[in-house]
A and B are shown apart, each in its own frame.
Chain A
Amino acid sequence: MIREKNRATIDADAELVKSCRTGDLRAFETLVEKYRNRMFTLVYRILGDYDDAAEVTQDAFVAAWRALGKFRGEALFSTWLTRITVNLSRNRLQQTRTRSSREAYSLDEPIPGCEECRHSDPPSDGPSAQEMLEREEIRIRVQGCINGLEPGYREVLLLRDVEEYSYGEIGGMLGLAEGTVKSRISRAREAIRGCLKRVLGEI
């Protein structure tokens, strides 16, 4: 995923946020449309549950709407929204810890709740059906490996390798020292690498 950091996007977000503060619901809807998929994906990666991800994504946007008055624009809107989303995901994960650990990756069974939601991509002339199936398989297994990580490791790994935030940004978002972020990322990657080698044979 490539993060949009160009100036135009930043300015557009700032303008939309300004409009939202005056009660412009259409402006907020634009922001929802813009960040909906990204936030949903992040929540899904953290929780590993499709329905929970949909609920938490809704909660995150509503929380952002309520807190717009406190948003000072010191960080990008996307960073601020991501922090809210990760915090709510962590809370949900703590509530459903038992279920989540039960749904961690297993070689014998597919990851529940994911199969039915991955058929929306229309077939294209690019990758063949076989290739798509393989990619889907890999994705499912990678998600299974992520689900097996401790929550504290999941967050930093996803923020770094999926959201592509810097160590400093992750530390600021989660309230962690940069060294802690670095070591957690290292351990999380090693764990995923070991898991993938185990489930895929080779990476």
Chain B
Amino acid sequence: MDHAGIRGKLSAYLDGAVTSREKALIEEHLKTCPECEAALRDLRRTVECLRTMGEEEPPPWLTQRIMARIREEAAQEKGFLRRFFPPMRWKLPLEAAALVFLSVTVYMVYRSVSPEVKIAVPPVAEIQREGAPQAPPAVTPGSETEQPPAVPEKRTTEKKKQDVASTKGRAVLRSSGETPAVALPSESAREEAASQFAPPPPAAPAPMPEIKGGAQRVLGEQGDMTLPRDAENRRKEEKSAPSPAMRAKAVAPTATREMRVVLGVNDTDTAFREIDRIAGLSGGTIVRRSARDEGGVCIVRVERERLGEFLERVGKVGEVRGKTPLPAGGNGMVEVLITVEP
């Protein structure tokens, strides 16, 4: 290493940033080179000057200004975060609102997916058992306008109970938000229906046409029974009727396509099997059947022309305890609702 090389290494030598070999060469050279020795001494003093300059005194407000800006930054950060994370004071009301919303949603979803509510069968059959046998088997045509007979006080109380049960059933159906499969009759219709099974006074037998109300009630309270489309539509019309008078007008024409029979039998199962058979013989079809131990209901669709033949066969199955008038003439299908009682 020559003089220039050693001169260039003096700064690093001062910092101890040279190899041991370089260090030995530099120290050897310094002994014989006063210029390099003076340069090294000046470098030492220069570094000393720089190191002993000391700290400058910053303005007294420096920390204050820095911290003011930091606080501003922190507040902005907090504000930014607040946009996404609401403060604690909003937490509880938000949670409450969320809970209410969730509850309403769950209720609505439950309502929309829950199955149709089936109404418990009220004790209509009992009424029929008590009332129907005493009803006169004969039907008086044109007796629709007659007033129902007076009902004993005890019977009235029972009817009220039944009405309450029926009303409850209707209420359930309405509250479920679903259109019931069978529309329930009005209060007056149900009263009429109940009264037609009441023990009639000898002079004024119960008018059989009003069995229709009772039959409707049986169907409606079965709940799971679905009437044919035309019958259903008719019930909708009844339901939307503004007054009993108008309802009577609406019901009258449709009665010609439907009739009802109350049949007293010894054995329900046998009776139903027999009805199946005679329906086939008369070219009819079983539209719907709902059988229970204590009785049941079935609907047979049969041609108007063969209705007489069919009813005659039905009369042989059991005791006809009541029936509505034969529908007016004409072609087409007639639905016969047969109420089978033990």
Interface stretch (choices A4-12, A60-68, A72-80, A81-89): A60-68
Q: Can you pick out 18 interface pairs between chain A and chain B where the beta carbons lie within 8 Å of each other? A: A1-B54, A25-B67, A25-B70, A32-B66, A36-B63, A38-B55, A40-B58, A139-B53, A162-B50, A162-B51, A182-B17, A186-B10, A192-B46, A192-B49, A193-B39, A193-B42, A193-B43, A203-B46
Q: Does B59 contact A (CB under 8 A)?
A: yes
Q: Which among A33, A45, A160, A190 has the greatest number of chain B C-beta atoms within 10 A? A: A190
Chain B residues positioned under 8 Å from A196 (CB to CB): 46, 49
Chain A residues positioned under 8 Å from B56 (CB to CB): 37, 40-41, 44-45, 50, 53, 117
Contact A54 B42 (CB under 8 A): no
A36: which of B45, B62, B69 is its contact (CB, 8 Å)? B62
> Smallest CB–CB gap between B129 and chain A, Å?
83
Q: Which residue of A lies closest to B48 (CB)?
A: A203
Contact A189 B11 (CB under 8 A): yes
Q: Does B12 contact A (CB under 8 A)?
A: yes
Q: Does B65 contact A (CB under 8 A)?
A: yes
Q: Which residue of B lies closest to A33 (CB)?
A: B63
Contact residues of A: prevailing secondary structure? helix
Contact A161 B73 (CB under 8 A): no
Q: Does B164 contact A (CB under 8 A)?
A: no
Chain A residues positioned under 8 Å from B62 (CB to CB): 36, 40, 54, 57-58
Count of CB-CB pairs between chains A and B under 8 Å = 112
Chain A residues positioned under 8 Å from B58 (CB to CB): 36-37, 40, 53-54, 57
> Smallest CB–CB gap between B35 and chain A, Å?
13
Chain A residues positioned under 8 Å from B46 (CB to CB): 189, 192-193, 196, 203
Contact B17 A62 (CB under 8 A): no
The 7 closest A-B pairs by CB, nearest first: A186-B11, A40-B58, A161-B50, A203-B45, A41-B56, A193-B46, A41-B55
Contact B73 A65 (CB under 8 A): yes
> Smallest CB–CB gap between A2 and chain B, Å?
9
Q: Does B87 contact A (CB under 8 A)?
A: no
Chain B residues positioned under 8 Å from A57 (CB to CB): 58, 62, 66
Q: Does A118 contact B (CB under 8 A)?
A: yes
> Smallest CB–CB gap between B67 and chain A, Å?
5
Q: Which residue of A lies closest to B61 (CB)?
A: A54
